[in-house]
Chain A
Amino acid sequence: MRPLLRYGVVCLALSLAPAWAQDITAPKSAVAGEQVTLSIAGSGKATFYLIGPGISNTHEINLGEEIKLRGDVLRTAGDYQVVVCGDPCKSATFYVMPAKPFSISFLVHPSRVPVSQSDAVSGVAFPFDQFHNLVLAPVPISFQLASGKASLLNKTETTKSGAAWFRTASSKSAGPLQVTAAFQDISAKRVVQQVASEPCNLRLTGQRNATGILVQTEPVHDCSGNPVPDGTIVSFTANAGGVKSTVDAPIKKGIARAQMDANGAAVISGASGVVMGNELHMGAK
């Protein structure tokens, strides 16, 4: 019963509200971080409430006086509700809009990309003001991609609803790809590592030593001639009379090597990922 009664009372108050609402004069919109002045008609004391994103204030005020809202309480963009409770309560709403762009949030993917891949690199930029509000007004963002001294991409996209994006291919040579999004003197930089593709033409050599066979690869490159990153596993397999021995060895300084335990005649092969190397036929010790 009480909620119903309360609801009725509030509805009655609200039905009167438009008449009173006109007594609060607020700007239709304001800019984040800037001062706003409100004027409230009437006389006597009242309670002033300001409710908005990140703020919730209450003050005793004298009606008829101007109220200045400092910029630091209006940093977050969005709608702010002003309620003044004398007898009865009145309310008004105003919007705080984002200020001018101050920074760019820049998402670039992937962070590592094989060379020579089409549509492999993409980025999205969002301009924000100094109070971290998304700037929704169109902003021209310049995207620049450079690998070494070579420029891969240089184009400008205007933000729509606060977002601008690009997509492009990776270059042919391994190394860092500098990716920049800029607007006037604001910029955000990211780095994409362009790495070698699959190993190409894996070649093995081997020789017997005191404890078996020392087998190793020649320097491992991809088909574009980029060295395959160190740490990449090369799997060596030795088959000697139906007995198998395997070693997963990482490439170090461009070469993978392993000590195989085989005294008899053995056939040794190597593979990295899907790429197979040549077979080595080693005679008995």
Chain B
Amino acid sequence: MTMHAMSAIEPTSPPPGVLAIRADNWRLAIVAGLALSIFAALTLPASVSFWVVGVAAAMIAAAFVVNAYRRRYYGGLLVAPAIAVLFVMNIFPLLWSLGLSFFAYQSNQQSIRFVGLNNYIKVLTNEIAAPGNWSALVNTALFVVLTVSAQMMVGFLLAMLFAKQFPLRKYLLILVLTPMMLSVVASGVFFTYYYDPTFGILSYVMNAITGGQFILMDSKAGAVAGIVFADAWMWSPFVMLLVLAGLVSVPKYLYEAAAIDRVSAWRRFWSITFPYIRGLLMLALLFRTIEAFKLADLVILLTKGGNDTMTISYHLIRIANEQNKTSEGAAISYVMLFMVIVLTNLYLYLANRRNQES
């Protein structure tokens, strides 16, 4: 790990070597702290290892602050509180489970032993365990593609509707924003009602039209459509809000200039409007993709994974929580993390390339 703080003001003294034992040598503190933490988390009982990790974190933090203060590395000082909270609440638990993924451990049993990469090999290739993982991954990919593109499209179209100023805009906008404020439990449970073949509105309407018995959720296509519709309905407003913010930030005189220059609507969109919303679209895409990978609650509520709608995140809940196969779950989650990282990096790479081209 290399990290070198820069500042507008030159450092007042040279930074210490990595191995120098000084109060401001945060590099050594991080290395030592991490090593100590991982060691403690894996070997000592939880109640002891927590304190070891706490001490390590405090040591790193102290070294960090002393160093930053001495050299006026304001960047480090500013970032430190957030990193500290993230480290304790998020990064440490993540490292803990990363560590566990190399052990055979079930949380409801008291034994633990090191197995190296066996968990990963198991979740990816084992005759019994792997097919479930792979099909859940394929389904997840399907959901990510469908729900994210649906959200991006619907969100974009809604934003276009609201781009202009018109009477009552404010009141209509809040109506469209409301779905994302609902709790997933409530909206998911109500979608089971909307889709219910006996009581639901959808079947009532469809039956009245076709005269038959309409059952949305009895096929994979229907079940996927039902889940994607509910998810996209809830989260398109998120995309819309970001896109709308981009749209309203386009200066009006650019559109006037385009009118004077007799620019076609198509060209106007791509050369003027799109550059203003591209960054926001990317942010929306990034966060919605990450969330779509975690899609589980709606699946649990609407299909319980039936009709081949099992997602990796729900699968993970079953493995890690219901069946207590903690380390196997950790391995699956890190495989999943790897995929999300690859995908998001691909987005960012493409976005940056586009930036540099234009």
A is bound by B? no
The interface of chain B, by Cβ under 8 A from chain A, is none
* Interface residue ranges, A against B (CB under 8 Å): none
